[in-house]
Amino acid sequence: MSVAIEVNCQTGEVIERPLTAEEIAANEAAAAQAEADRLAAEEAAAVVQSAKEAAHAKLAALGLTADEIAALSK
């Protein structure tokens, strides 16, 4: 069971209560959105990495050394 913890900063009183259906739904929606955002960021990073590797391969095919390619990548 999920609970909300409310603290009254003036009195120090701590109240634990069950989450409402709306709060549970909001938490689940936020978690789903966070997971979707994480997956999108991972996919974007993979696309960038793939493009970098392809560019390095093309530069190497043109005859550039690894040091020359590294210098261009900075």
pLDDT digits (tens, 9 = 90+) for 4-53: 999 999 999 999 999 999 999 999 999 999 999 999 999 999 999 999 99
Q: In whole angstroms, what is the distance from residue 40 CA to residue 51 CA?
A: 17
Report the pLDDT value the prediction gives residue 46, as an integer from 0 to 100: 98
pLDDT reading at 74 higher than 90:
no
Residue spans per domain, the chain: 3-73
- Contact call for residues 14 and 5 (beta carbons, < 8 A): yes
